[in-house]
């Protein structure tokens, strides 16, 4: 079952207006080239991104796509977007001729990512698409093909790939500080509102695994630097309150990596589950709490400096960065790729891999997708 953007608008599920904040100077030198972004979908995540772009040295908001003209005009006034650069979903393709728009940020529900990425690519615009990349592997492959054929860049918005604290965690493992990694545990979830579009499978593609579990899957991959080769999984629904008529409430899974590392993950829409990961290795351990949010992450580690019996080392570091800095860094990276014709670190292929693993997890759980 597919849901059109018009039908989605009628659901009223994205009724959160963007915060009305004064425009902040981006800090770039006068005359420096900036990539102009057209934001497609003006919900909560788009608000984070647009505020992030305000702090970027090489990015700016130059267009909006929305089904609500009055809302779009209010936001356009805050970001200096001319009314002529506001589009509806029906006439969005006209931005092909808008020279102020170099790229788009796709901030729509999951099931719409493929359509609007492909339409944008055909209009000659580079694409930064929110995660999960799509709802199926075939959609992800079509998105990659469309961007390749149009010779535009495609990046999936894995903002944590550019976060200093996550990069420090990866470096500790890569440098061998923890010794040989044995297991990784991770989880993320929240108690979903009955009115959330995420509980509509036609819009979301699936349950919490698509929305928040994907953070755990992706983190295990960049922490190990490996791709999983074997999966087990189970799903359950405990709260019979009508919210989970089209999808499961809870998912737990395991992934085995080529080195033998075992990772376990859980995600839920039925309880507050602050995101975290824990790494257990031969020389010690490492954990990150509030790992997947927009600010406030904390990294702790305890390990021997060399062989057992050598000096013991401790790390206890909290991020002092506040939202929307992660989105600023994400925009900086993609704009740099656009300006210099470089493949983004979190390319479409990165998103495709996670889509394949999500399908593997559901298959292991005996849950049919689609």
Give the active site residues. Answer: 131, 215
Six-digit token string for 10: 């009628």
Gap between the Cα atoms of 146 and 122, Å rounded: 7
Specify whether the CB–CB gap between 61 and 335 falls below 8 A.
no
Q: Give yes or no for a cis peptide into 244 (omega within 30° of 0).
A: no
Specify whether the CB–CB gap between 69 and 17 falls below 8 A.
no
* DSSP sequence for 317-349: EE----TTHHHHHHHHHHHHHHHHT---TTBHH
Q: At what angle do helices 44-54 and 325-340 cross, to 10 degrees?
A: 70
Gap between the Cα atoms of 233 and 168, Å rounded: 30
- Distance (Å) of CA 23 to CA 47, 55, 111, 223, 227: 13, 10, 32, 37, 42
Specify whether the CB–CB gap between 38 and 101 falls below 8 A.
yes
Specify whether the CB–CB gap between 355 and 142 falls below 8 A.
no
Cα dihedral angle (305, 308, 309, 315), rounded to 10 degrees? 30
């Amino acid at each position: 079952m597919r849901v059109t953007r018009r039908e989605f608008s009628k659901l009223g599920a994205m009724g959160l207006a963007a915060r009305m904040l004064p425009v902040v100077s981006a800090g770039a030198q006068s005359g420096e080239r900036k990539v102009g972004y057209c934001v497609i979908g003006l919900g909560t995540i788009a608000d984070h991104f647009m505020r992030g772009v305000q702090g970027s040295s090489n990015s700016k908001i130059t267009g909006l796509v929305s089904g609500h003209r009055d809302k779009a005009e209010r936001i356009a006034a805050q970001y200096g977007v001319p009314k002529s650069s506001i589009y509806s979903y029906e006439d969005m393709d006209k931005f092909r001729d808008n020279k102020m728009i170099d790229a788009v940020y796709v901030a729509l529900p999951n099931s719409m990512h493929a359509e609007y990425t492909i339409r944008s690519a055909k209009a000659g615009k580079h694409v930064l698409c929110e995660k999960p990349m799509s709802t199926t592997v075939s959609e992800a492959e079509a998105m990659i093909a469309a961007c390749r054929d149009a010779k535009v860049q495609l990046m999936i918005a894995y903002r944590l790939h550019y976060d200093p604290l996550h990069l420090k965690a990866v470096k500790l493992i890569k440098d061998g500080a923890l010794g040989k990694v044995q297991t990784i545990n991770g989880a993320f979830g929240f108690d979903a509102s009955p009115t959330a579009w995420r509980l509509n499978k036609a819009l979301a593609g699936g349950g919490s695994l698509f929305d928040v579990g994907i953070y755990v899957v992706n983190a295990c991959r960049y922490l190990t630097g490996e791709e999983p080769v074997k999966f087990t999984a189970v799903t359950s629904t405990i709260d019979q309150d009508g919210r989970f008529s089209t999808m499961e409430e809870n998912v737990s899974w395991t992934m085995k990596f080529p080195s033998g590392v075992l990772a376990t993950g859980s995600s839920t829409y039925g309880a507050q589950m602050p995101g975290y990961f824990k790494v257990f290795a031969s020389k010690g351990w490492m954990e990150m709490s509030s790992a997947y949010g927009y600010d406030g992450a904390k990294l702790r580690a305890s390990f021997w400096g060399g062989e057992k019996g050598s000096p013991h080392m401790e790390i206890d570091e909290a991020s002092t960065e506040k939202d929307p800095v992660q989105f600023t860094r994400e925009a900086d990276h993609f704009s740099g790729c656009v300006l210099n014709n470089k493949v983004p670190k979190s390319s479409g292929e990165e998103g495709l891999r996670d889509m394949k693993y999500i399908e593997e997890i559901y298959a292991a759980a005996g849950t049919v997708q689609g």
